[in-house]
């Protein structure tokens, strides 16, 4: 109810003015004058609520008169973050610290309590920026962003349609279109058990059955005669919501209300680690002293939640950690911080904080042994041996990039893959692949006849290649060769008998030599 | 002073003068000039000596003890030890140093110890000496001890075996009872080191030896303090330094907001302020 009230408030712009006072902005040549209420000043630009609506004016071109005018010489950039504790507890503090050090600023973290902190960034002269951080949930982060109580929302999922509509009504623009979302790092949803629990591999159906309350005994999944003590995070958390929508909703079930919830993931993980018959729902970055459960498939594939599998999205429950920005200009320090989060220096911080960064790594052809063996064992009329030989000939001399592209439907990329386009484009622009050739290779699932699957895989590979070329505007394409190919359903990563397995198999890989 | 004059003035005076001259440290001591009784009827008149005005009178003179004069004039402590100051660091097992600060002529004096960006306060004892065990917080670093009179000593510390240890140090800028807390699994033993006097700046260090066969482990870290009349309503400043095998060290500064004095008797506990120690399997 509180959240709803705040959203309505945001929609009516009643929460927007931070320091509502009158200003008159006059152009330096005196030819025009704008009167209004100052909404914000970011050190460069005035944002003023006028009779024409909110306007943004370059501070270089106007003089400010009136009681609302900011003190230009002592401007301190205020940047407010709000959202999921998965990001706010560890990742953001580490990134802010590294960002400040890189910009020769010192940081003092003023801790209000476990969920509210302010990071004061100063140089040798004075305070330059204050980053405030509210650790809450993804939903609250979006609500704060829409109500203009936050400048950057920290999210584990994309906004729901109700949140997108609310943002538009509030004048916050379209949360989905444009580059409003940035994937900062990757995490994965994992089930965990105590170290001494012998069951370390479960199918997605079994995991779903346990958390929906349909499976209550370990003996039902091949374990001991004992009750399963399942633990989940709070229902309002992004992790709970993503698990519900991606794992249970497709099966027509929900998380059982009888399952015990824990107020934070650390307590959940510690509870599971201490109880041999417990199973918990957490993220790969927070498995504590418990063991993660592998996801098994009926065809023999097992998906292990590992850094490499998350980075290439070969694990089915990858969860991008995202920052959403508003449809207005942010202060320079905020923009620089956002830029920093996708730099190699930030990748180091992300790894150290226990998350998976999106840096581009390679694995050689030999690392594909299991996949090849599986492909050979399935060879038949749909995928003849000659096609596998073509695949081996085409890829043997190349290395696979961790950058992999996956599709929500048709040729629409998922959010992580959109970020991958930018990453790969930036690598091309900086000459990382100069003198080498990139091969975009499309793969499909095995549902339906092989011919259309091959055509779809080829069109996806061509589409990705085109998107990368478009995004890499300043790359020198005379130095790097880019081609595409497709092998259809020849080299599956997961079993094709489930939706999530087929989704993993529908992909475009990038191979380099 | 001639021998004949000695005879004239009496043995007592002459002996004192002899002792004074014989004392090798007495050169800076004003030579005592005792009052001479004028009534010497058997001696012939000696006009020069009998003019009492030639002798200054020092009323209420008390003799200086030898020990005091020695201490003041020869750079030697009250216990007879030379005053030279000394800072020594002896390597110990577990990447720990035994630190000894020896300043015999600076008894009961406060010392600020600065090392790896951390500072704590300690003090010399009655003999001018203090000793403590200091876990290494940098593979190479400088230890500086600064006395309250400004005297400064330094020494270099090298700990080649530090790479086997995960450590977290919290340096508190005041004495407000704040404690570093840790929750470690039973197979991950940790040890704590408390440095500094309770009345000054303190440093708490958690140390874990990461043996080659260790499994992955997470040590949860927090800070806690009882809320008292002394510490409520006050800001707390801390500097935190993390060391982990195969990772660059990280440091960060904290300011904990004041707790309300309405909560006296309760506890302040913060679980998300310090980064947990996440130990990777080797």
A85-138 tens-digit pLDDT: 999 999 999 999 999 999 999 999 999 999 999 999 999 989 999 999 999 999
Whose structure tokens read 């549902």?
A: A447
Beta-strand pair A318-324/A437-443 = unpaired
Is residue A319 a part of any domain in this protein? no
Beta-strand pair A507-512/A399-409 = antiparallel
- Domain boundary pick from B52, B73, B94: B73
**What residue numbers bound the domain in which B7 lies?**
3-73
Residues B109 and B8 in one domain: no
Contact A353 B275 (CB under 8 A): yes
Average pLDDT over every residue of A343-359: 90
Collapsed DSSP state (helix, strand, coil) of residue B240: strand
Residue A10's nearest CA partner among A163, A120, A132 is A163
Q: Which residues of B touch A284 (CB under 8 A)?
A: none
- Domain boundary pick from A74, A104, A131: A74
Structure tokens at B196: 């500094």
Q: Which residues of B touch A288 (CB under 8 A)?
A: 218, 220
Q: Which residues of A touch B256 (CB under 8 A)?
A: 111
Residue A36's nearest CA partner among A58, A18, A55 is A55
pLDDT, tens digit, 9 for 90 and up, residues A388-409: 888 888 898 999 999 999 987 6
Burial readout A32-45 (b: 16 or more C-beta within 10 A, e: otherwise): eebebbbbbbbbeb
Residues A368 and A495 in one domain: yes
Is residue A320 a part of any domain in this protein? no
Backbone angles phi, psi at A503, to 5 degrees: -65, -35
Residues B209 and B262 in one domain: yes
Alpha-carbon gap, residue A399 to A403, rounded angstroms:
12
Backbone angles phi, psi at A153, to 5 degrees: -95, 140
Residue A136's nearest CA partner among A288, A2, A330 is A2
Residues A201 and A289 in one domain: yes
Alpha-carbon gap, residue A464 to B172, rounded angstroms:
54
- CA of B239: which chain A residue's CA is closest? A108
Number of domains in chain A: 4
Q: Is the pLDDT of residue A19 over 50?
A: no
- CA of A351: which chain B residue's CA is closest? B247
Average pLDDT over every residue of A52-58: 88
Whose structure tokens read 């300690």?
A: B122
Cite the DSSP H helix spans in chain B: 3-9, 11-22, 47-50, 66-73
SS (H, E, C) A175-228: CCCCCCEEEEEEEEEEEEECCCCCCCEEEHHHHHHHHCCCCCEHHHHCCCCCEC
Alpha-carbon gap, residue B98 to A186, rounded angstroms:
45
Number of domains in chain B: 2
- Domain boundary pick from B11, B46, B73: B73
Is residue B80 a part of any domain in this protein? no
pLDDT, tens digit, 9 for 90 and up, residues A301-337: 888 898 888 988 888 899 999 999 988 888 889 999 9
CB of B183 within 8 Å of a chain A CB? The answer is yes
CB of B218 within 8 Å of a chain A CB? The answer is yes
Is residue A113 a part of any domain in this protein? yes
Q: How many CB atoms lie within 10 A of CB A380?
A: 9
Residues A387 and A489 in one domain: yes
ipTM above 0.90, yes or no: no
Q: What percent of chain A has pLDDT over 70?
A: 95
Residues A289 and A229 in one domain: yes
CB of B260 within 8 Å of a chain A CB? The answer is no
Tens-level pLDDT at each residue, chain B (282 residues) = 444 444 444 444 433 333 333 333 333 334 444 444 444 455 555 544 444 444 554 555 555 666 666 555 567 888 878 888 999 999 999 999 999 999 999 999 999 999 999 999 999 999 999 999 999 999 999 999 999 999 999 999 999 999 999 999 999 998 778 889 999 888 888 999 999 987 889 999 999 998 777 678 899 999 999 999 988 999 999 999 999 988 889 999 999 999 999 999 999 999 989 989 988 765
Alpha-carbon gap, residue A381 to A446, rounded angstroms:
12
Alpha-carbon gap, residue A300 to A304, rounded angstroms:
13
Selecting from A107, A110, A112 the residue whose C-beta is nearest the C-beta of B252 gives A107
Residues B92 and B10 in one domain: no
Residues B251 and B157 in one domain: yes
Contact A115 B272 (CB under 8 A): yes
**Confidence grade of residue A385 (pLDDT, cut at 50, 70, 90):** confident
Distance from CA of B258 to the nearest CA of A (A): 8
Selecting from A89, A108, A353 the residue whose C-beta is nearest the C-beta of B253 gives A108
Distance from CA of A275 to the nearest CA of B (A): 13
Structure tokens at A98: 């590294």
Got the DSSP string for B9-35?
H-HHHHHHHHHHHH-TTGGGSPPP---
Q: How many CB atoms lie within 10 A of CB A217?
A: 14
Using alpha carbons, list the distances in angstroms from residue A160 to A138, A244, A245, A354: 11, 14, 11, 28
Is residue A151 a part of any domain in this protein? yes
Q: What is the spatial order of strands in the sheet that B152-158 belongs to? A: B118-123, B110-115, B140-147, B152-158
Is residue B93 a part of any domain in this protein? yes
Residue B207's nearest CA partner among B105, B104, B124, B97 is B97
Average pLDDT over every residue of A135-158: 94
Residues B63 and B175 in one domain: no
Residues A487 and A398 in one domain: yes
Q: Is the pLDDT of residue A7 over 50?
A: no
Residue A105: per-residue pLDDT: 96
Residues B141 and B197 in one domain: yes
Residues A253 and A141 in one domain: no
Residues A252 and A374 in one domain: no
* Contact yes or no for A316/A501 (Cβ under 8 A): yes
CB of A110 within 8 Å of a chain B CB? The answer is yes
Residues A365 and A503 in one domain: yes
Residue B13's nearest CA partner among B31, B39, B27 is B31
Length of chain B: 282
Average pLDDT over every residue of A411-416: 80
Residue A468's nearest CA partner among A409, A414, A413, A426 is A426
Is residue A118 a part of any domain in this protein? yes
Alpha-carbon gap, residue A93 to A97, rounded angstroms:
6
Q: Is the pLDDT of residue A66 over 70?
A: yes
Whose structure tokens read 């699994």?
A: B185
Residues A334 and A453 in one domain: no
Collapsed DSSP state (helix, strand, coil) of residue B137: coil
Least trusted range by pLDDT, from A168-172, A206-210, A408-412, B161-165: A408-412
CB of A353 within 8 Å of a chain B CB? The answer is yes
* Contact yes or no for A385/A490 (Cβ under 8 A): no
Residues B37 and B61 in one domain: yes
CB of B254 within 8 Å of a chain A CB? The answer is yes
* Contact yes or no for B205/B137 (Cβ under 8 A): yes
**Confidence grade of residue A72 (pLDDT, cut at 50, 70, 90):** confident
Q: Please state, rounded to an integer, the average pLDDT across all residues of chain A.
A: 88
Residues B24 and B153 in one domain: no
- Domain boundary pick from A59, A74, A89: A74
C-alpha torsion angle, residues A137, A141, A143, A148 (rounded to 10): 160
**B4 Cβ neighbours under 8 A, 6+ residues apart:** none
Contact A109 B218 (CB under 8 A): no
- Domain boundary pick from B45, B73, B101: B73
- DSSP 8-state symbol, B76: B
* Contact yes or no for A85/A135 (Cβ under 8 A): yes
**A364 Cβ neighbours under 8 A, 6+ residues apart:** A399, A400
Alpha-carbon gap, residue A119 to A133, rounded angstroms:
8
Higher pLDDT, residue A43 or A443: A443
CB of A203 within 8 Å of a chain B CB? The answer is no
Residues B52 and B162 in one domain: no
Residues B66 and B120 in one domain: no
Residues B111 and B41 in one domain: no
Q: Is the pLDDT of residue A8 over 70?
A: no
Alpha-carbon gap, residue A368 to A366, rounded angstroms:
5
Residues B54 and B140 in one domain: no
- Domain boundary pick from A28, A58, A74: A74
Q: Which residues of B touch A135 (CB under 8 A)?
A: 272
Using alpha carbons, list the distances in angstroms from residue A130 to A41, A89, A97: 14, 17, 12
Contact B255 A109 (CB under 8 A): yes
Residue A297: per-residue pLDDT: 82
Contact A94 B275 (CB under 8 A): yes
Is residue A318 a part of any domain in this protein? no
Alpha-carbon gap, residue B188 to B179, rounded angstroms:
20
Residue B63: per-residue pLDDT: 59
- CA of A288: which chain B residue's CA is closest? B218
Residues A123 and A234 in one domain: no
**A166 Cβ neighbours under 8 A, 6+ residues apart:** A7, A10, A11, A146
Is residue B273 a part of any domain in this protein? yes
CB of A291 within 8 Å of a chain B CB? The answer is no
**What residue numbers bound the domain in which A25 lies?**
2-74
Q: Which residues of A touch B183 (CB under 8 A)?
A: 270
Q: First and final CA of chain A: distance in angstroms?
A: 56
Is residue B81 a part of any domain in this protein? no
What's the CATH number where A213 sits? 3.40.190.10
Is residue A445 a part of any domain in this protein? yes
Residues A344 and A365 in one domain: no
Contact B254 A352 (CB under 8 A): no
Bridge partners of residue A208, in order along the sequence? none
Is residue A400 a part of any domain in this protein? yes
Residues A70 and A82 in one domain: no
Collapsed DSSP state (helix, strand, coil) of residue A462: helix
Q: Which residues of A touch B275 (CB under 8 A)?
A: 90, 93-94, 353
What's the CATH number where A379 sits? 3.30.1330.60
Using alpha carbons, list the distances in angstroms from residue A145 to A27, A37, A325: 31, 21, 8
**B152 Cβ neighbours under 8 A, 6+ residues apart:** B144, B145, B146
pLDDT, tens digit, 9 for 90 and up, residues A256-270: 999 999 988 999 999
């Amino acid at each position: 109810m509180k959240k709803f009230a705040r959203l309505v408030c945001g929609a009516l712009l009643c929460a927007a003015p931070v320091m509502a006072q009158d200003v008159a902005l006059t152009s330096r040549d005196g030819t025009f004058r704008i009167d209004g209420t100052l909404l914000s000043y970011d050190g460069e630009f005035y944002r003023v609520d006028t009779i024409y609506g909110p306007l943004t004016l370059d501070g270089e071109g106007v003089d400010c008169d009136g009681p609302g005018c900011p003190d230009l010489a002592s401007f301190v950039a205020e940047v407010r973050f709000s959202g999921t504790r998965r990001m706010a507890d560890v990742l953001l503090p580490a990134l802010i610290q590294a960002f400040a050090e890189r910009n020769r600023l010192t940081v003092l973290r003023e801790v209000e309590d476990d969920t509210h902190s302010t990071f004061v960034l100063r140089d040798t002269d004075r305070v330059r920026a204050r980053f405030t951080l509210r650790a809450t949930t993804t939903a609250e982060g979006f609500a704060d962003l829409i109500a203009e109580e936050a400048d950057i929302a920290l999210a584990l999922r994309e906004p729901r349609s109700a949140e997108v509509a609310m943002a538009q009504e509030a004048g916050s623009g379209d949360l989905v279109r444009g580059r409003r979302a940035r994937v900062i790092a990757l995490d994965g949803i994992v089930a965990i058990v105590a170290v001494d629990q012998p069951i370390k591999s479960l199918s997605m159906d079994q995991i779903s059955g346990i958390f929906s309350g349909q499976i209550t005994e370990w003996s039902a999944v091949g374990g001991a005669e004992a009750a399963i003590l399942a633990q989940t995070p709070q229902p309002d958390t992004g992790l709970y919501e993503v698990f519900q929508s991606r794992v249970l909703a497709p099966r027509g079930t929900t998380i059982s209300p009888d399952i015990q919830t824990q107020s934070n993931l650390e307590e959940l993980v510690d509870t599971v680690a201490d109880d041999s018959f417990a199973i918990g729902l957490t993220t790969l970055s927070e498995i504590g002293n418990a063991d993660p459960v592998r996801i098994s498939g009926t065809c023999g594939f097992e998906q292990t939640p590992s850094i490499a599998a998350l980075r290439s999205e070969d694990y089915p429950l990858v969860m991008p950690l995202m920052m959403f920005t508003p449809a207005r200009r942010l202060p320079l320090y905020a923009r620089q911080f956002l830029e920093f989060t996708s730099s190699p220096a930030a990748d180091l911080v992300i790894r150290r904080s226990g998350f998976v960064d999106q840096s581009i790594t390679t694995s050689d052809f030999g690392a594909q042994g299991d996949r090849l063996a599986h492909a050979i064992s399935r060879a038949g009329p749909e995928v003849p041996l000659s096609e596998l030989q073509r695949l081996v000939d085409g890829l043997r001399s190349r290395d696979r990039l961790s950058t992999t592209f996956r599709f929500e439907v048709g040729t629409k990329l998922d959010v992580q893959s959109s970020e991958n386009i930018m990453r790969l484009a930036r690598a091309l622009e900086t000459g990382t692949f100069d003198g080498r050739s990139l091969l975009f290779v499309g793969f499909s699932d095995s549902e339906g006849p092989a011919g259309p699957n091959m055509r779809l895989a080829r069109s996806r590979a061509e589409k990705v290649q085109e998107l990368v070329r478009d995004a890499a505007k300043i790359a020198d394409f005379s130095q790097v060769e880019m081609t595409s190919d497709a092998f259809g359903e020849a080299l599956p990563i997961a079993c094709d008998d489930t939706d999530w397995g087929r989704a993993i198999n529908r992909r475009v890989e990038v191979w380099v030599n | 002073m001639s021998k004949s004059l000695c005879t004239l003035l009496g043995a007592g005076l002459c002996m004192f003068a002899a002792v004074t001259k014989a004392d090798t440290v007495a050169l800076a001591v004003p030579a005592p000039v005792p009052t001479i009784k004028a009534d010497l009827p058997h001696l012939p008149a000696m006009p020069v000596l009998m003019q009492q005005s030639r002798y200054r009178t020092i009323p209420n003179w008390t003799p200086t003890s030898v020990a005091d004069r020695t201490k003041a004039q020869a750079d030697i402590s009250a216990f007879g030890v030379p005053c030279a100051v000394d800072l020594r660091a002896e390597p110990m097992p577990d990447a720990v140093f035994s630190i000894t600060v020896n300043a015999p002529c600076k008894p009961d004096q406060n010392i600020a110890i600065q090392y790896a960006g951390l500072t704590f306060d300690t003090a010399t004892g009655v003999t001018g000496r203090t000793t403590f065990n200091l876990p290494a917080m940098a593979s190479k670093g400088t230890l500086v001890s600064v006395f309250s009179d400004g005297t400064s000593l330094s020494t270099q510390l090298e700990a080649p075996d530090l790479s086997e240890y995960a450590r977290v140090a919290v340096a508190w800028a005041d004495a407000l009872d704040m404690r570093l807390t840790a929750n470690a699994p039973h197979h991950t033993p940790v040890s704590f080191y408390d440095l500094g006097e309770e009345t000054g700046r303190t440093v708490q260090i958690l140390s874990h030896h990461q043996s080659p066969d260790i499994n992955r482990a997470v040590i949860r870290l927090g800070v806690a303090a009882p809320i008292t009349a002394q510490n409520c309503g006050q800001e707390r400043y801390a500097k935190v330094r993390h060391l982990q095998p195969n990772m660059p060290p990280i440091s960060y500064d904290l300011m904990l907001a004041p707790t309300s004095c309405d909560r006296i008797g309760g506890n302040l506990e913060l679980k998300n302020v310090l980064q947990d120690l996440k130990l990777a399997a080797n």
